[in-house]
Amino acid sequence: MSHHEPHRLHRTGWLRAAVLGANDGIVSTASLIIGVAAASATQESILLAGIAGLVAGAMSMAAGEYVSVSSQSDIEQADLEIERHSLEHHFEYEQIELAKIYEGRGIEPELARQVAHQLMEHDALGAHARDEIGILDITAAQPVQAAVYSAGTFTLGAALPLAVAWLAPGVLLIPLVAMSSLLFLAILGGLAARAGGASITIGATRVTFWGACAMAITAAVGLLFGVAI
């Protein structure tokens, strides 16, 4: 009888980028719309600011994720190059080192040496990358994937409060954008938590709380500048 346990670690890369992008899209665009609206701007100016925020934010998220994850990838590649060089010049020492790692995890010394020997015969660099450095195929840095997910989900997230602002009557624009955005954030947090195997309630609560803080602060700034002007 076969037994399969569904793990979620392989979702780490795209899930982090997608959640971050969508969350930022909702929070930053809703906050921008509310802040501009609180300064008594016209609906046309509010929508223009929202669209500009969407485009700028999506590009910023893509560039930021690409640079950030590329830096992680560079570090991984540098570590692999160091390990590759060590394997070429100190193979036996590296085998002993790998065996010591397995011993530290509870394997008997003789068996640890046999495991290290067999794994290094099969794929020496892969064994050291996984068990010494900690680089796994499912969690390895993927800059392009992260950039695409972040930009795409930011755009989708930002489009939600922007659509509400476009449809809402002027006097109800701020409360409708705020309430709908908090609802969107709660749904997003819950879905992300479910995908990651965490508590849906906690996931929804934390993104909603910080989103509400961002909108409240931006509204206060808008009111301040609106009064000053």
Average pLDDT for residues 194-211, to the nearest whole number? 84
Residue % of the chain over a pLDDT of 90 = 29
CA distances 119 to 77, 104, 116, 216, Å, are: 21, 17, 5, 56
The DSSP annotation for 38-87 comes to HTT--HHHHHHHHHHHHHHHHHHHHHHHHHHHHHHHHHHHHHHHHHHHHH
Task: Report pLDDT digits (tens) over 23-68.
Answer: 889 999 999 999 999 888 888 999 999 999 999 999 998 898 888 8
Average pLDDT for residues 211-217, to the nearest whole number? 91
pTM for the full model? Answer: 0.70
Task: Report pLDDT digits (tens) over 142-164.
Answer: 788 878 888 899 999 999 999 99
Average pLDDT for residues 71-92, to the nearest whole number? 83
